[in-house]
A and B are shown apart, each in its own frame.
Chain A
Amino acid sequence: MSKHSLLTLVAGLSILILLPFTQSNYGVFVLCSWLVYSISAMGLNLTLGYAGQVSLAQASFMGIGAYMTALMTMAGVPWPAAMIAAMVSCFVIGFLLGYPALRVQHHFLAFITLAFNALVVLVLRNEEWLTGGTYGIVGVPRPEVFGLPTQTPLAFYFFVLALFVLMAAGLYAIIRSPWGRAFKALRENPIRANSLGVDIRQTTLLAFAIGSSYGGLAGSLLAQLTQFIDPHSFGLTISLKVLLMVIVGGAGFFFGPILGALLIVLAPEFLRFTEGYYLMIYATLVIVLMVFCPTGLLGLVERARTAMKLRQNPNATTWEAGR
């Protein structure tokens, strides 16, 4: 990692540590929501942005993670075991959901994952004996970390921040590893990748499984954050919202989903003063962004930076300009 990147990372982490102290309880709740959705969007970014597999089911994995954590912790299972079980279950279910991706792609795959999301919501709504049906589950406990309770918003924020950093570091390591290169190869040219020894079947399934486990953890944290869950919180609208986070921030960019989640979570807060016009303004902004910058905000930043460097040094290669 370069000195510049290290300094940026330290500055970013310092802001994340200090920021909640300047916020009200509601502000800290919004920051927590942002980190939770960022974890979910990071997972989808691996599946979609890096591996090129369309998924409209991320919210269903958040739902599975949330309900598993809620039910297990309320039954007395320690929270680490519940959260690990949620992630592992989502990994396995995501792995299985990846199988259709071996046969179909693009919008067909989108419809399959969409149907899966609808199926999960139906189960959560109809199996009242387990999930509480439309009334959901109230009173999901927050964890105690090394004997310290996380009941206060600030304490829970730091718990979420620690897991966010851990998951981001994990994703960074995956993307930089040969696995990350294989995921990108799958996105760009699966036929060629296959001929070079990349096991396309395994890589596709892993992309779904890892991305889904991130969704599972995000759901687990969401249940503890809101301490109330219902099927509506994990419907298709939420899957589309997570997808929007990835696309708006920049699919295939490491920080893309984090930036996208920040915008999507914070935009309603900033546009609150517009009252009834909020959704219209929000929709217009998304349309404008997608028309002028389909690669998302970080794609726009990269394009601007490369253009500026090329203007300064017309003989530079695109790599030199892009550094």
Chain B
Amino acid sequence: MTSTTFSIEMKLTEIGTAAKGTNPREVIVAIAPAFGKEMNKTIVKVDHASVLREILSGIEEQGAVPRVIRSLRTADLAFMAHGAAQMSGSGISIGLQSRGTIVIHQRDLDPLSNLELFPQSPLITLEMYREIGRNAAMYAIGESPNPVLVVNDEMTRPKYQAAAALLYLKECQSLVPDQKPVELKAEFLIKD
């Protein structure tokens, strides 16, 4: 069975309010309010299940420990990730929006600063999501990875800007004001 012949199902179970982590090897992945719930595909229709699995695989391969939380009070990428970085035992976090936009953040940085940012979500491939997970894990264990290559295509803007705005608005409908992030248990089932 090769990776093209099966489908991945994701089960996200809420297990209470997310607490500050103590494990220095942990990397928190903060997903947006609607990720894998009201919305289940990115802007280029890649399953959220595959995206999250690649990120978590990348983190695990480097020997770090992934933890998934859902941000509820904000869908803003920078603030989701920055908030998660404060809770991460290593100080490293990944922020991930439903449309696929992703960032690697660090505790001591300003919210709008970051370690690596991938703003053009339509261009991010599953391999890149794996590499982003890998890099985040390497930052967490104190290594210095080369940044993941950011692809740039000036046509993505005119082509996807409207869709991106709509997806963000849709995401914002799942916001719960003043609600703290919740801890999630992510399980993946592989089916033929």
* A and B found bound together: no
List chain A positions with a Cβ less than 8 A from chain B.
Answer: none
